[in-house]
Amino acid sequence: MVRETVAPYRGVFGAPRPAALASLALPPAAMAPRQGLRPLKAWRYVGVYGPELMLCIGSARVGPARQAFWAVWDRVTGRLHERTAIGGGAVSLGTGFARVDDRAVKLELGLEETAGVETIAPAGDAYAWTRKQGGVRAIGTVEIDGAVRRVNARAVIDDTAGYYPRHTHWRWSAGVGHTEEGRELAWNLVAGVNDAPSGSERTVWVDGRPEEVGPCLFAADLGAVDGLEFRSEAVRARRDNLLLVRSSYRQPFGTFRGELPGGLRLAEGYGVMEEHDAWW
């Protein structure tokens, strides 16, 4: 069984992997649409967080089913614009770019991507792969009801593909900010998936350099993760019941204060918290 033969692995995406992983199909190679009875679950999520605008663009699949989504939280006007659609919708995602062309909202972003941190983890008796990039520069425009706004902010990018168990539950946080001394910070914190004591996807980037951090504890109301306090401003939430696939999530945009793992105190921080419960 995979859980007996694959230990958690963490490295730089594109670097040589251990020989023990050679038998696994892993990106950039294609992964099989299913392993046994488990369909492939895969997604790409781009979150851009700043003091005036926060936004996310994503696409996801569970087996043959596809879903796309986007959201823009305009902190200046206090309005949340969002849409989720079955299929590709109006979202286009690829290496180095993200686009949305959906009725009253148009978005065009260039992303200065890096190699990123990849992890490979047991997922029950199967496995999962993920690649996280933090502090990525995102530059472009968002047009809302004909008004064009410039975007020049930092992003967290999540690429994931795996054969997760039928019932999977996790809490997650991603964000960007800086210390009182002016050091740039980004983070990816999680509990519930890819969260072994070591070799996990948990990462804090300091001036662009990634460091793994230890296990973290999320408040049930998503008001904090360890010493990092969160104030929710606008909430994306959705429930889907498609018979074989059921999903419930909430992902608020907001601000952070306090300390990241390692004692890094935020002067300001922007990003999201998330709780996701899926039967897939």
Q: What is the per-residue burial (b if ≥16 Cβ within 10 Å, else e) of 249-266?
A: bbbbbbbbeeebbeebeb
pTM: 0.95
In angstroms, the CA 55 to CA 138 distance is 11
Flag residues of the chain having pLDDT under 70. 1-5, 243
pLDDT tens digits, one per residue of 6-19 = 889 999 999 999 99
On the 0-12 / 13-18 / 19+ scale of CB atoms within 10 A, 91 is buried
pLDDT of residue 243: 65
Q: Which pLDDT value is given to residue 86?
A: 87
Residue 240: per-residue pLDDT = 84
